[in-house]
């Protein structure tokens, strides 16, 4: 059995859809339903990137959305993490090399966790968010050490 982790606080997630078939978006909604009920674990979907710890991105990113995605990323407070859900966001999927696609998301903003699949299962999405959560907690711990050493 894996090591159990106690998190210090809940994690807030903002979802940005770049333009996809919505299969990944439906799986994200499934994560929020009573079957998986991630809110009981402290994972909450929020309506503003200014309140979010994790940016969950789906779909291939069209050229006109790339600047908007950068702006959403910049609005998030530090420390933050980005999770790309699905094949379209990771590699372009069926839209690979299309004239209107800005490229994989990691060419637009830094990505911390990839959740592959078309669409990925809800369990994989939850696992990706937990990995981002662990990264954020690690960054917070490092910031506390730096802040404590300087005082």
Domain-wise residue ranges, the chain: 11-148
Written as six digits, the tokens of 144 are 């506390």
pLDDT single digits (tens) 90-117: 888 788 888 888 888 989 999 999 999 9
Closest by Cα among 69, 61, 124 to 88? 61
Residue 8 has pLDDT above 50, yes or no: yes
- Architecture in CATH of 11-148: 3-Layer(aba) Sandwich (3.40)
Write down the pTM of the prediction: 0.87
pLDDT over threshold 80, residue 149:
no
For residue 41, how many C-alpha atoms fall within 13 Å in the half-sphere facing its CB? 18
Q: Tokens for 112?
A: 């911390």
Instruction: Please say whether the beta carbons of 88 and 117 come within 8 A.
Output: no
> In sequence order, which residues have a C-beta less than 8 Å from that of residue 119 and are 6 or more positions away?
23, 24, 26, 27, 85, 86
For CA atoms 86, 64, 21, 27, give the dihedral sign.
positive
């Amino acid at each position: 059995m894996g090591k159990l982790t106690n998190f210090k606080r809940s994690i807030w997630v903002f979802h940005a859809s770049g333009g996809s078939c919505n299969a990944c978006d439906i799986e994200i909604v499934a994560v929020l339903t009573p079957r998986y009920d991630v809110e009981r674990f402290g994972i909450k979907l929020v309506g503003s990137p200014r309140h979010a710890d994790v940016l969950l991105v789906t779909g291939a990113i069209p050229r006109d959305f790339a600047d908007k995605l950068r702006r959403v990323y910049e609005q998030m407070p530090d420390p933050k993490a980005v999770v790309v859900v699905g094949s379209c966001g990771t590699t372009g999927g069926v839209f690979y090399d299309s004239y209107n696609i800005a490229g994989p998301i990691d060419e637009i903003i830094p990505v911390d966790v990839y959740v592959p699949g078309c669409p990925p299962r809800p369990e994989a999405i939850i696992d990706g968010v937990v990995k981002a959560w662990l990264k954020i907690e690690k960054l917070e711990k490092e910031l506390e050490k730096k802040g404590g050493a300087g005082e």
